[in-house]
A and B are shown apart, each in its own frame.
Chain A
Amino acid sequence: MPWMDANGISIHYQIAGNGPSVVLLHEMGGTLDSWDGIAPILSENFRVLRYDQRGSGLTEKVRQPITTEQLVDDLAAVLSQSALPPPYHFVTVAAATMQALIYMTRHPDRIASFTFCNPFTGADPSRVAALNERAGLAEREGLRAAIPTTLDNSWPSEIGDRAAYATYRGRYMAHDPVCFAALNRSIAQPNVTQLGRDIHKPTMVVAGRFDKVRPPATSEQFAKIIPGARFELIDAVHMMPAQAPGPLLALLKDFLGAQTGAIARQ
């Protein structure tokens, strides 16, 4: 079961548990394994879907440019073909936030709640050149060459659990450099920050205190434009679910439990 053909590519996914539907969208450079510390426990009370996004993990590697819209099409196809009933509690990390927001514009009736971890909602025009540069570097020289400008910023090796870091780095390095480059280029467009104002569902923004890529102040600023959003700050780097699953899980249990009654609140 763990693969489906959807939107023209083979997508590796996992569904576990029963209860309200939760959709976990991993960060760029991550895989569905980024949720290993979150998904198994959430699935005790929820039906949890996670998948490797286009070009990542065990999902098909492509040789065409990747766009954010295409990633949203992938998401829509996966949701349609996984028999996961809406409404969905989305939990996103970084650039995957864009996918959830665009999906909201297509299907506002299918949203139950949002949890945005270190949300990235659009590239600062001044950063686009840097994104293209590291994309080119990965493409030409491989992931190893791109690490100083990517992972070393988003998860400095001295922070957090050694084993968790080593595992994450291992998976990160295993990315296909061409897809990794295509994904880096994809997040340059569009900028969907203003869609935050259109959110009418319970939303929690979780910022990582040690996130240098999306500093907490930026996340907090985004939270402020979302009507009624809850803002939380935890000790975490950019790759929050993989690096700080415990604190994030505690917040998710509280937040999702309050929305759904699926977890007895402690």
Chain B
Amino acid sequence: MKIKANGININYQVDGREGAPWIVLSNSLATNLAMWDQQAADLKAEYRVLRYDQRGHGATDAPTGRYTFEQLIADALGLMDALGIKKAHFGGLSMGGATALGLAQKHPDRLDKVIVCDSPCQSTPTSSQQWEERIVVAQEKGMEALVEPTVGRWFPPAVLEAKPAHIDKVRQMIRTTPVNGFIGCAAALANHDYASAVATVKRPVLFMAGEKDGVTPTAMRKLSAALPGSRYVELPGAGHISNMDQPEGFTWAIADFLKAA
């Protein structure tokens, strides 16, 4: 389903019964709302699950140009407004995780609990440069050229060796991401920082990272340490797309966090 919000058509899907507490799930770069299939299936018994394709991804509009996290946050807020959602739990992974933490800093009144996964929530000179390089690859060679390098970066060797079905699903999501959308969001990722002010967040936060997601666990442990009362969970064996590598543990960690007093 699509709805107009923040000046673009946003594709979204709602699962779960009316009246249940809302949880919004926001996808990572070069994926789409289908990355949350398992979580939606698991959470819909107790929550009303809203997931959407981030700007430039899936079936959401993909305007040209470089996007900013201010836009991504305004998209999420606009979508909540358009659907009449006053308050929701909000979770996201990687780009979606930074979106969640940004929302928590800018619009705490609209959020209940916040789930930030596999994102250090800030760019570094090195990561900015890498995003600019990948933007060039996307412009010159298209998304196909980014599929295998990205898969190799996201999934730990042990997961790749086991050849689980979700790897091909992710390949397909990367392959079908609009080039405009990839470039726009990669530009946003090249320039963002919600880590510096993490201590100002007033909502309960769950930080979660795949154990094998490069340096992300270290960065997220620090984020959690800087925000008293937050929770840090590490998913053994999981890589960057931790919700697909370890769906059971991932969903359980969220369910447990949302139920905690």
Q: Do A4 and B260 have beta carbons less than 8 Å apart?
A: no
Q: Do A80 and B231 have beta carbons less than 8 Å apart?
A: yes
Complex interface bits, A121-162 against B, C-beta within 8 A gives 1, otherwise 0: 000000000000000000000000000000000000000000
Complex interface bits, B241-259 against A, C-beta within 8 A gives 1, otherwise 0: 0000010111111001100
Judge if A105 is at the interface, Cβ distance under 8 Å: no
What residues of chain B have their CB less than 8 Å away from a CB belonging to chain A?
208, 211, 217, 225, 231-236, 246, 248-253, 256-257, 260
Pick the residue among B208, B234, B252, B257 that contacts A4 (CB under 8 A): B234
Q: Do B232 and A83 have beta carbons less than 8 Å apart?
A: no
Q: Which residues of B contact A84 (CB under 8 A)?
A: 249, 252
A105 → chain B, closest Cβ, in Å? Answer: 16
Please name the 4 residue pairs, one residue from A and one from B, whose CB atoms are nearest each other, closest first: A83-B249, A85-B252, A83-B253, A15-B236
A85 to B248, CA, bound (A): 6
Q: Which residues of A contact B257 (CB under 8 A)?
A: 80
* Chain A count of residues within 8 A CB distance of the other chain: 12
What residues of chain A have their CB less than 8 Å away from a CB belonging to chain B?
1, 4-5, 15-16, 80-86
Q: Do B231 and A83 have beta carbons less than 8 Å apart?
A: no
Q: Which residues of A contact B250 (CB under 8 A)?
A: 83
> What 14 new A-B contacts, CB under 8 Å, besides A1-B217, A83-B234, A83-B250?
A4-B234, A15-B236, A80-B231, A80-B233, A80-B256, A80-B257, A80-B260, A81-B233, A82-B233, A83-B246, A83-B253, A85-B249, A85-B252, A86-B252
A4 to B253, CA, bound (A): 15
Q: Which residues of B contact A81 (CB under 8 A)?
A: 231-234
Pick the residue among B236, B251, B252 that contacts A1 (CB under 8 A): B236
Q: Which residues of B contact A83 (CB under 8 A)?
A: 208, 233-236, 246, 249-250, 252-253
A17 → chain B, closest Cβ, in Å? Answer: 9
A16 to B236, CA, bound (A): 8
Q: Which residues of A contact B256 (CB under 8 A)?
A: 80
A16 to B217, CA, bound (A): 18
- Closest residue of chain A to B208, judged by CB? A83
Q: Which residues of B contact A85 (CB under 8 A)?
A: 248-249, 251-252
Between-chain CB contacts (< 8 Å), 25 pairs: A1-B211, A1-B234, A1-B236, A4-B232, A4-B234, A5-B225, A5-B232, A15-B236, A16-B236, A80-B233, A80-B253, A80-B256, A80-B257, A80-B260, A81-B233, A81-B234, A82-B233, A82-B234, A83-B233, A83-B234, A83-B235, A83-B236, A83-B252, A84-B252, A85-B249
